[in-house]
Chain A
Amino acid sequence: MSTPFDEMNGWPGGEPRPAYTQVKAWLEEAPAELLQTRRAQAELLFRRTGITFNVYGDPGGSERLIPFDIVPRVITAAEWARIERGLVQRVEALNALLADLYGPQEVLKAGVIPEELVHLNPQLQLAVMGHRPTKGVFVHVAGVDLVRTGPDDFYVLEDNVRTPSGVSYMLENREMMLRLFPDLVARANVAPVETYTDLLLETLRSVAPPGPEPEPTIVVLTPGPYNSAFYEHSFLADKMGVELVEGADLFVRDNLVYMRTTEGPKRVHVIYRRIDDAFIDPLFFRPDSQLGVPGLLSAYLAGNVALANAIGTGVADDKAMYSYMPEVIRFYTGQEPILGNVPTWRCREADHLAYVLDHLPELVVKEVDGSGGYGMLVGPHSTQAQIEAFAAKLRAAPEGFIAQPTLALSTCPTLHEGQLAPRHVDLRPFVLTGANGVKVTPGGLTRVALTPGSLVVNSSQGGGTKDTWVAEI
């Protein structure tokens, strides 16, 4: 693979990029020990605060830190403006798509998406068919994954419209940079991100079901302290000043949702839930779920409680549906997509499958409903035996997979054993949609693959994070 585009140094032999003028000068001035000291300090501070995640399948069950890299990832305000427009367009289309799929299904009648892709999709929740969530919003919080391959080439890699996580790292990483390098942040004209939690609260309030109460009661619903993203759940509840509840803290009576408090039951109007559809109500979905609230679905269908995100959004973000997003955007907005898709082969289609099987060593193959970087094949980094084993899986159930070219993801200088070295990065901006429209916080979470050459940025697979700056230059 040729040398990829670097966020700071551009193409090999090219000019350093203007976005990095301040950061580059600082990196050149700063003694190597200082960087190391600051890195160690950051780790200590993260530990003290308990900003950790739990790894599934780790018998130690211990809490780990996501490695934080102190070299920021910088995007210019001009680059950001285009990304932002693209994100707003895309999330508007996703909301329109969901309203349509659970409503009149015009998009299927028009033949834009094959019917079986929707009707046979396990993420299509028949229980909410025909239900319009309050204010018509399905996706209140989206975490759209972007990758970059050149100066102007940003692509959407995944839409993430179920319960995307990572926003607490976006916020904590900035706090860390402000603490470690206040001068540099000030000099670089970085757009603040701290308004995110206020915007989230406003978004959740705006979709409260109509009622006599002047102030809706909002809660964050978590699966509990053993969930990998528990820190984030508590962080968001804390910043919004709302209760962090577990399933057992809620109950439903006469189709109204209440929480158990020391002063008796209290009505709940909006639930920012960080529990998957399958676990949210054992009466309708998985009966073995200990995490959900029996009767919640009925209360939701009666319009007495808003869920963010709405039930059933998963149908819009599986990787097979993803491949139709450019058509979906054209269909609902009448415009050309501002942010492109990564070219995608759907293995469900015979000619695509044949191509994929012929080119496995150069492709990335993913499960259509997978996440977290699990169960995927990165062709160029796999052995012949791994490729053959994967080919057998693929032939057995082709509809479960999509394939994409192995993208030359951009790299960003990253501190590695005291030296700066290029590492691949992606970007997850967070997009909020309420009754008053779509809002995007400038920046997002930059994830970085810390293993040299690796393209897998997921924290569960040894990825780290960086602060992301949208800078006026």
Chain B
Amino acid sequence: MLSRTAANLFWTGRYTERADFLARLLDATARLSSLPSTYGGDPTAWSGALAAAGVDELFAEAHKEEEPTETTVVQFLTVSSENPSSIRSCVERARGNARAVRTGLTREAWEALNTAWHEVMRREGLSKSDVREFTEAVQRAVGAFDGAAQRTMLRDDAFWFLQLGAAVERADNTARLLDVKYHLLLPRDEPVGGSLDYFQWSTLLRTVSALTAYRWLYRDTVKPWLVADLLIFNDRMPRSLACCYDAIVELLDYLAAGSGRRGAAHRQASQTQLLLQEGDVKTVFASGLHEFIEQFLVDNNRLGLAIAEQFAF
């Protein structure tokens, strides 16, 4: 496959995944900020969302001294053109990448993405009551794209690069979320069941659509160390770091099967996969959750560069 085509598909995968993550993040944050503070309602929830999306500095630049409010953050994360990572920018870039390589996608997959683009582009400002409808539309659109790709694309390089981009982005999103919220997960002395952080933890789970999954897996009330275990090490949870890396290594295996060569990206991904397979929450908490996540983000970023290098993007 053409290197440029591979690069475009990889980024289509990344941008659609990011748009989906931002939509979930907005939903979960809206829910958290609407709680009274006696139940853990968090007035800083919206600045937390900016940090989880990795655009807190960009926001500060664009809004000078203003404190983030619900209105400005929602605008910034959804339809702002000042924010290169807003949902609108992501969908626009995903569609731009896909359009440049129309031949890499099936007609069904392309049409799903093109429809999403029309859907997003027709919104200018979003009033408060429109936000939920917007985020749901985005999730539906990404789901439709993903579904069309799954159902109609040949299982070859084009499909694998698209999935690879999505998996790398998914790992990055989950890790960034953990990076912003890690302090909530640290053990401390509080009466069991009386924690105000309960709503914070459940918000974290909601952001990755894992609240129900948590209950099925652990059959327990929400405990911070189990939340960390679910999001980092549980390979059955599709947005966990472990699951993302299983997918990444598998996709790189498929890609290597064509050429018979395994490159630097492959070796690096396998190392991280091993770390996630053999690690556990106890050890990570002992050696520092924050440091672990920071290192993971650096490594995941390096993997993106190694993939570009290996496949001559």
List A residues at the B interface (Cβ < 8 Å). Answer: 47-50, 224-225, 230-231, 234-235, 237-238, 242-246, 248-249, 259-264
Assess whether A259 is in contact with B2, with CB atoms less than 8 Å apart: yes
- Nearest chain-A residue to B101 (Cβ)? A244
Question: Given contacts A49-B111, A246-B4, A249-B4, are A260 and B312 in contact (CB under 8 A)?
Answer: yes
A47 to B258, CA, bound (A): 36
10 A-B pairs with least C-beta separation:
A234-B102, A262-B311, A263-B259, A238-B103, A237-B103, A50-B114, A244-B103, A260-B3, A262-B6, A225-B100
Nearest to B106 among chain A residues (CB) is A238
Q: How far is the CB of A243 from chain B (nearest CB, A)?
A: 6
Q: How far is the CA of A235 from the CA of B115 in the complex (A)?
A: 18
- The proximity string for B residues 237-272 relative to A, scoring 1 for CB distances below 8 Å and 0 otherwise, is 000000000000000000100110000000000000
Contact pick for A47, options B1, B3, B102, B118, CB 8 Å: B118
B2 touches A243 (CB 8 A): yes
CB nearest to B96 among chain A residues: A225
A261 near B3 (CB under 8 angstroms)? Answer: yes
B103:A243 contact, CB within 8 angstroms: yes
In the complex with contacts A47-B118, A263-B259, A225-B4 CB distance below 8 A: no
| A357 to B: closest C-beta gap in Å | 48
Complex-state Cα separation, A235 to B258, whole angstroms? 26
Shortest Cβ distance from B98 into A: residue: A50
B206 proximal to A (CB < 8 A): no
Closest to B260 in A: A263
B178 to chain A, nearest CB (A): 32
A262 and B157: CB pair below 8 A?
yes
Q: Does B99 contact A (CB under 8 A)?
A: yes
A262 touching B1 in the complex, CB below 8 Å, given contacts A47-B118, A50-B114: yes
Partner of A50, one of B1, B3, B110, B311: B110
Q: Which residues of B contact A248 (CB under 8 A)?
A: 4
Task: Mark B residues whose CB is within 8 Å of A.
Answer: 1-6, 96, 99-103, 107, 110-111, 114-115, 118, 157, 255, 258-259, 311-312
7 further A-B pairs in the complex, CB-CB below 8 A; given A49-B107, A50-B114, A224-B100: A47-B114, A49-B111, A234-B101, A245-B2, A261-B312, A262-B2, A263-B259
Q: Are A49 and B2 in contact (CB under 8 A)?
A: no
Instruction: Tally inter-chain residue pairs, CB-CB below 8 A.
Output: 69
Residues of B within 8 A of A224 (CB): 100
Are the CB atoms of B99 and A225 closer together than 8 Å?
yes
Contact A235 B311 (CB under 8 A): no
Contacting pair B157 A49 (CB below 8 A): no
B299 to chain A, nearest CB (A): 23
Determine chain B's interface SS by DSSP, over half rule: helix
Chain A residues with Cβ under 8 A from B259's Cβ? 262-264
- A47-B118, A50-B114, A263-B259 given; A249·B103 CB < 8 A: no
Tell me the smallest distance from the CB of A406 to a CB of chain B, in Å: 40
CA distance A20 to B306 in the complex (A): 63
Between A230, A238, A245, the greatest number of chain B beta carbons within 10 A of the residue's beta carbon is seen for A238
Cα A339 to Cα B3 in complex, Å, equals 47
27 pairs from A and B in contact (CB 8 Å cutoff) = A47-B114, A48-B115, A48-B118, A49-B107, A49-B110, A49-B111, A50-B99, A230-B99, A231-B102, A234-B99, A234-B103, A235-B102, A237-B102, A237-B103, A243-B5, A243-B103, A244-B5, A245-B4, A246-B4, A249-B3, A249-B4, A260-B312, A261-B1, A261-B3, A261-B312, A262-B1, A262-B259
- Nearest residue (CB) in A for B5 is A243
B4 surroundings in chain A (CB, below 8 A): 245-246, 248-249, 260
- Chain A residue numbers with a CB within 8 Å of B311 are 262
Could you tell me the distance in whole angstroms from the C-beta of A328 to the nearest C-beta in chain B? Answer: 38
Instruction: Tell me which residues across on chain A come within 8 A of B110, comparing CB atoms.
Output: 49-50
Q: Please name all residues of chain B whose beta carbon is closer than 8 Å to the beta carbon of A235 when the two chains form the complex.
A: 102
A238 touches B2 (CB 8 A): no
Q: Which residues does chain B contribute within 8 Å of A231, judged by CB atoms?
A: 102
A262 touches B99 (CB 8 A): no
Complex CA–CA separation, A261 to B115 (angstroms): 30
* Shortest beta-carbon distance from A43 to chain B in Å: 12
Q: How far is A244 from B99 in the complex, measured between Cα atoms in Å?
A: 11
B113 to nearest A CB, angstroms? 9
Residue of B nearest to A50 (CB): B114
When C-beta atoms are compared, the residue in chain A nearest to B259 turns out to be A263
Chain B residues positioned under 8 Å from A50 (CB to CB): 99, 102, 110-111, 114
Given known contacts A48-B115, A49-B111, A244 and B102 CB-to-CB distance under 8 angstroms: yes
CA distance A231 to B114 in the complex (A): 13
Closest to B258 in A: A263
> What CA separation (Å) do A396 and B147 show in the bound complex?
62
Docked Cα-Cα span, A340 to B21, in Å, equals: 63
* Contact residues in A for B100 (Cβ distance below 8 Å): 224-225
Pair B102/A262 contact, Cβ less than 8 Å: no
Residue of A nearest to B112 (CB): A48
With a cutoff of 8 Å between Cβ atoms, the chain A residues found around residue B96 in the complex are 225
